[in-house]
Each structure stands twice: as C-alpha cells, then as structure tokens.
Amino acid sequence: MLSLFTTSYALATDRTGPLQARPRRARAHPRRNQRSARTLQLLAGLVAVGIGVGLIISAELGVASWDVLHVGLAELAGWSVGTASVTVGLGAAGAAALLGERPRVGSLVPLAVVGPSIDATLLLAPGASTLTGQLTLLVTGMIVLALGVGAYVASDHGAGPSDLVFLAIARRGIPLAYARLLVDGSAVLGGWAIGGPVGLGTVIVTLSLGPLIGLAIKGFDLVPARHVIHTREAAFDHAQGRELAWEIA
C-alpha cells in the first residue's frame, strides 16, 4: 500500500530520468540521528497509513493502486484486507530480493503494522450512506494517509516492499515513470481482474496523494540522508544500503 506514495512526489518533478548514482547530501537536523525518535516516528506513521487506507476503503469509492489488489485478493480468498496486504507484501519483498534489492528494517515492519491497522479501522470505521459521507471518509483517509507516509519516509528506515520491486526495475535502466507505471499498473490490473474496487476514489487518490505527501514530508522536516535531487535524474546512494529517499527543498 505504500508503493504509490513514497515515490509519487519525486516523480512529480522527475518523470523520465533513469536511476543513477549521486554523492550523498543531507540537510542537518538535530533529531535525524536519534534512532529511538525515528523508530517511534516510523511506527506512528505506519499506523496512520493503515488507518488512512482503511478509511479510504470504507468510503467505497475506489482505492489506490496496490489496495485494489489487496481488496480483490481479500474478497477472492475470504481473507481480511490486512491479511491480503501482508501476503502481497511478503511476495513483493521476496521478488525484490530475487532481483537484488535487499530489504531494510523499514521494508519489513510495515507488514506487521499496516495490515492490522487496516483491519482495525475497517472494523471500527462508520459506514457512509450518502455521497457526502463517502467523500468525507475518502478525503479524511487521504489526509491521514499522507501524514503517515510523510512520517514513514522521513524516518529513513528504508523503502516498503512494493517500492523495492520498483527500485529493482528502475536500477536496470528503465526510466522512473515507466518503472512506476509498470509496477502500479500491474497491481491495478491484477486487482481489478479479481474483483478489486476501481472507481472515482482511485482517480482522486492517484491525482491528489502525491502533492499531499510532499507537504507532509516538508512539514516533518526530518530529511533522510539519502534523497532525490530535483533534477532530471534521481539520486542513488550506494554507500548507505542502496536506498532511495527524498529531500524537499
């Protein structure tokens, strides 16, 4: 469920360049090296991600790319959405490892936190019987989700499982936008084929979430050491575990 989110702001300013190496640069911040603070931020962000996703699903107007697959798989297999998201995440992490992309802590923690948070939100969130209520749930979910992803990305604990697949493909010379389209498009088509919800909400989330996440990351102002330089090509730091992260100037 994090696949669209952690690279969407970068792609808004860098749509064609391949992934290449760049020197490390980082904006100094007094809390950046405090591991406990960053870990708490990671966990709080992931819980918020799960709540946001659950609210968007509850709106029943359509969901974001990978959640189309998660919901479709849940309905097909009779699982909860959280269980489906964990299953897909494990598969994505395994595929990324086969492609040479090594997971970090932040790549695996979402599997234990986001799924249960989604299920708890779906259990507790009130339904909406009117379009106004549905839109309210959708917008609220997007805001909570953007804040969660902003905290998650700024904590600098590594890319999510589905993002690892995207990075592995991008590092083989495929332009970022095409790699992103390939990965997310496959998730949407696969989810839609097994009954996942695609609708107005999918369009709204796809168009709006990237800018919201950009504002959230800038608001946290906890910029990772590895980031994207806002030029035609994305930055890639070999020396720090081959991760991608973002600096909002």
Q: What is the pLDDT of residues 28-80, one digit of tens each?
A: 444 455 778 888 988 999 999 999 999 999 999 999 889 999 999 999 999 99
* pLDDT in the model for residue 1: 56
Whether residue 133 is contained in a domain is answered as yes
- What pTM does this model have? 0.75
DSSP state of 233: S
Q: Higher model confidence: residue 165 or residue 3?
A: 165
Q: What is the C-alpha end-to-end distance of the chain, expressed in Å?
A: 26
Whether residue 112 is contained in a domain is answered as yes
* Poorest-pLDDT segment among 145-149, 150-154, 218-222: 218-222
Q: Residue 123's CB: how many other CB atoms inside 10 A?
A: 9
Whether residue 200 is contained in a domain is answered as yes
Whether residue 132 is contained in a domain is answered as yes
Whether residue 165 is contained in a domain is answered as yes
* pLDDT in the model for residue 234: 39
Contact call for residues 220 and 212 (beta carbons, < 8 A):
no
Q: Residue 77's CB: how many other CB atoms inside 10 A?
A: 12
Q: What is the mean pLDDT of residues 71-93?
A: 95
Whether residue 21 is contained in a domain is answered as no
* Poorest-pLDDT segment among 59-63, 96-100, 164-168: 164-168
Whether residue 64 is contained in a domain is answered as yes
* pLDDT in the model for residue 238: 38
Name the residue range of residue 60's domain.
30-240
Whether residue 245 is contained in a domain is answered as no
**pLDDT tops 50 at residue 97:** yes
Q: Residue 216's CB: how many other CB atoms inside 10 A?
A: 25
**pLDDT tops 60 at residue 241:** no
Q: Domain count for the chain, please give it.
A: 1
Q: What is the mean pLDDT of the chain?
A: 78
